[in-house]
Amino acid sequence: MSKKVWIIIGSVVVLLIIITVILMSNSASLPSNTQQPGPESQSQFVEGNNNCGKIVGILKPSHISSFQLPKTNDQRLFTISCKLKVNKTKLASEGPQAKIHVLEGPSPKITIAPMTFGTIGLNINGNMEIGIPNDEWFHLVYVQKASSVLVYINGQLEEKQKNNSVSVNEVSISGDTEWHKIKDITLCTRALNLYEVQNLS
């Protein structure tokens, strides 16, 4: 082959080597856990300080997303803090069957549904009913201790009940629906005290 052909081949080889090096350096700069969000990976639990963490990303609308919690010495101790907005008028128009499972599980289990006296409210673990504002954001904190449950609305204790708390290893949370919105979700593998609850508000 002529000298000119060898020069062209050499240039192509050098160009391919440069492209390969660029591609390898770009992939190496990405974190090992980087992934493109798909239908089931738009949100995740990210651990923070003091045995608390946040749900980051977008919960899939009208879908129950589950999050594994870190193992602790006592899995009964648990706190969830979130902000909710419920259009009670719109939900009530659906009739007595209207129900939104905000948290799905044996404990905690939090449902937005008609209460015994008619209006829409929170049903906690099937044995507590708490009134909520209509179509405005409010702060909900559910604290589970070894033998009791406390529920706070906007930093104020609304309900306290003794119960035999069960271990919380996983939390299942509903994304936004036509009737409710949820944001600013914090999960803790310990029971927060009143001061900490009010600091979250």
Together in a domain, 103 and 64: yes
Together in a domain, 26 and 92: no
At 17 the pLDDT is 64
Query: In terms of residue numbers, what domain contains 29?
Result: 1-34
**Residue 94's pLDDT band (cuts 50, 70, 90):** confident
Note the pLDDT tens digit of each residue in 77-90. 999 999 999 999 98
At 16 the pLDDT is 56
Together in a domain, 29 and 114: no
Together in a domain, 118 and 141: yes
Pinpoint the alpha helices (H) of the chain: 3-28, 88-92, 194-200
Q: Which of 24-33, 35-44, 148-157, 171-180 has the lowest mean pLDDT?
A: 24-33
Together in a domain, 89 and 113: yes
At 155 the pLDDT is 94
At 108 the pLDDT is 87
Together in a domain, 26 and 47: no
Q: What is the pTM of this model?
A: 0.77
At 20 the pLDDT is 60
> Between the CA of residue 188 and those of 20, 45, 58, 81, 185, what are the distances in Å?
45, 11, 19, 9, 10
Pairing of strands 52-57, 120-124: unpaired
Note the pLDDT tens digit of each residue in 95-146. 777 788 898 887 789 999 988 877 899 999 988 999 999 999 999 999 999 9
Note the pLDDT tens digit of each residue in 6-47. 566 656 555 556 656 555 554 433 333 222 333 444 788 888
Together in a domain, 56 and 110: yes
**Residue 186's pLDDT band (cuts 50, 70, 90):** very high
Mean pLDDT of the chain: 82
At 105 the pLDDT is 82
Together in a domain, 90 and 167: yes
At 43 the pLDDT is 82
- Between 34 and 63, the higher pLDDT residue: 63
Together in a domain, 83 and 141: yes
Together in a domain, 47 and 19: no
Together in a domain, 169 and 96: yes
For residue 81, the domain's CATH number is 2.60.120.200
Together in a domain, 27 and 71: no
At 79 the pLDDT is 96
Are the C-beta atoms of 124 and 151 separated by less than 8 Å? yes
Q: Report the domain count for the chain.
A: 2
